[in-house]
Amino acid sequence: MDKDKLKQEVAKRRTFAIISHPDAGKTTITEQMLLFGGVIRQAGTVKAKKSGNFATSDWMEIEKKRGISVTSSVMQFDFDGKRVNILDTPGHEDFSEDTYRTLMAVDAAVMVIDSAKGIEPQTKKLFKVVKQRGIPIFTFMNKLDRDGREPLDLIAELEELLNIEGVAMNWPMGMGKGLRGLYDMYSHRIETYRPQNEAERFIALDPETGEINGDDLLKEDTIYQQTLDDIDLLSEAGNKFDLDKIAAGQQTPVYFGSALTNFGVESFLKSFLSMAPAPSSHELLNETTLSAEAPEFSGFVFKIQANMNPAHRDRIAFVRICSGQFEKDMTVKLARTGKELRLNNATEFMSAQREQVDSAVAGDIVGLYDTGNFQIGDSIYTGKETIEFEKLPQFTPELFVEVMAKNVMKQKSFHKGMQQLVQEGAVQLYKTYTTDDYILGAVGQLQFEVFQYRMLHEYNSEVVMKPIGARTARWIDPEQLDQRMSSSRNLLVKDLQGNPLFLFENRFAENWFKDKYPKVELTAKL
């Protein structure tokens, strides 16, 4: 691909993640977008268990049973002249580490908020990560088909709780049973709710007055008149639309709608794609930046997933392409080891549906079949100059369990499952220092439940988990280590790389240790 063609292809890419609190409607809005992209014929909601229609982005069996997203799926489609890559992130807070890493692989974020509940704790957490990256954030106030909070209150809450300016792009005309439509300031039209036919879906607004021409019936509607009063108030006292502020993540365009009834979603998607950025430069470890249009191929692994196809026991490394062009059978260098690898088997995603990919460019996500070469955070590249991207965030676990196989005759599948699943990064694996017994660490309890379920259903290994409670992990320099320092209150273990660390029972135990061994240095992370 020549330089101009590569530039054109990169400019078409829109790569973003959808963040929200559980149950705000993130999976539903994803499904509607896939519907517009022509990749599915019918949107399946997570709760439609009787019909057997499950959301495309929820491919894992446990997600279908529980109606939650616990892994990050990747979905790609073409819409409105753009190549769209959606990274669907886990909504459950116990899987926030996976979400944080996924947010390092996107160029923009869509924040879905339940209009009845407003900003909830998980939304606030995830928003902070997005804000730190300084990428554009677009807000969709969902569930307008139900009675919710006043729109002005919702926008005010954005500013108070998240410290970001909210600028309304459309405005609800009523809500719940009284929902009439959306007054769309961005497209200068009214989008009617549940029109009789497609011709009645949009009503043009006079660009001078901002009112509709004709349709006296609607003009007399009190909800319409109230909407005009709100629009006047917004134009006087609201934030002014500023594309530079949006690009810097300081202002968020706010859209209202209902994902469940597919109202306002298409208008939102078109508006979002017109404003969201194409792939741009990435920071490198040597404090330089790499342009998305640079000719040499580069990318980083932000996720590893085992058993997307349980029949083949496969393992996929998800790579965000940052520059150049990916081509099948290309040879790349792995920055961590300096080893050369041939990428002869790669895939693009439609959640669990996968297609072989021959070519991809900056902004795209490709899945590489992996036999154990890759780790989360790995950089790969072509060319003579070493390219190594900034480290991905890692979180120290807070909950710990001892893990053993229930059936001692199935040790082989037990050990294989333990080794493969921990490489996904949702749980951390430790071993007792002298006996090599397994201990798992996680941020939340649900991660253990998912791990146990997958061990049984993907590796036919029933495991027993014995909780050892909340612990504080602290690493120690091997040269300072004396195994006699260990006790039941500060358990000595080693991580996957063999580095020693203590799991302290509580703050008191840690302080007691520091008083007893004042010269020993303990660190929260390596």
518 is in an annotated binding site: no
487 is in an annotated binding site: no
What distance in Å separates the CA atoms of residue 526 and residue 509, rounded to the nearest whole number?
Answer: 21
The sheet with strand 522-523 has its strands ordered as: 463-470, 399-405, 438-442, 428-432, 490-494, 500-504, 472-476, 522-523
Tally of CB atoms within 10 A around 156: 13
282 is in an annotated binding site: no
What distance in Å separates the CA atoms of residue 119 and residue 226, rounded to the nearest whole number?
Answer: 25
244 is in an annotated binding site: no
Q: How far is CA 183 from CA 12, 122, 172, in A?
A: 29, 30, 6
Please check whether residue 440 is in contact with residue 399, taking contact to mean a CB–CB distance below 8 angstroms: no
432 is in an annotated binding site: no
21 is in an annotated binding site: yes
Please check whether residue 67 is in contact with residue 87, taking contact to mean a CB–CB distance below 8 angstroms: no
Q: Quote the longest CA-to-CA distance of the chain.
A: 86
92 is in an annotated binding site: yes
Radius of gyration, alpha carbons of the chain:
25
91 is in an annotated binding site: yes
24 is in an annotated binding site: yes
Q: Which of 101, 1, 452 is nearest to 87 (CA)?
A: 101
481-484 contact pairs (CB < 8 A, 24+)? 483/433, 483/434
DSSP per-residue letters across 216-248: HHHHT-HHHHHHHHHHHHHHHHSPPP-HHHHHT
What distance in Å separates the CA atoms of residue 29 and residue 114, rounded to the nearest whole number?
Answer: 12
Burial profile 272-281: b = 16 or more Cβ within 10 angstroms, e = fewer? bbebbbbbbe
4 is in an annotated binding site: no
What distance in Å separates the CA atoms of residue 108 and residue 129, rounded to the nearest whole number?
Answer: 12
Please check whether residue 323 is in contact with residue 281, taking contact to mean a CB–CB distance below 8 angstroms: no
Tally of CB atoms within 10 A around 512: 16
142 is in an annotated binding site: yes
477 is in an annotated binding site: no
89 is in an annotated binding site: yes
User: What phi and psi, each to the nearest 5 degrees, are found at residue 23?
Assistant: 75, 10
Q: Which of 193, 195, 230 is nearest to 210 (CA)?
A: 230
Residues annotated within the binding site are 20-27, 88-92, 142-145
Residues annotated within the binding site for GTP are 20-27, 88-92, 142-145
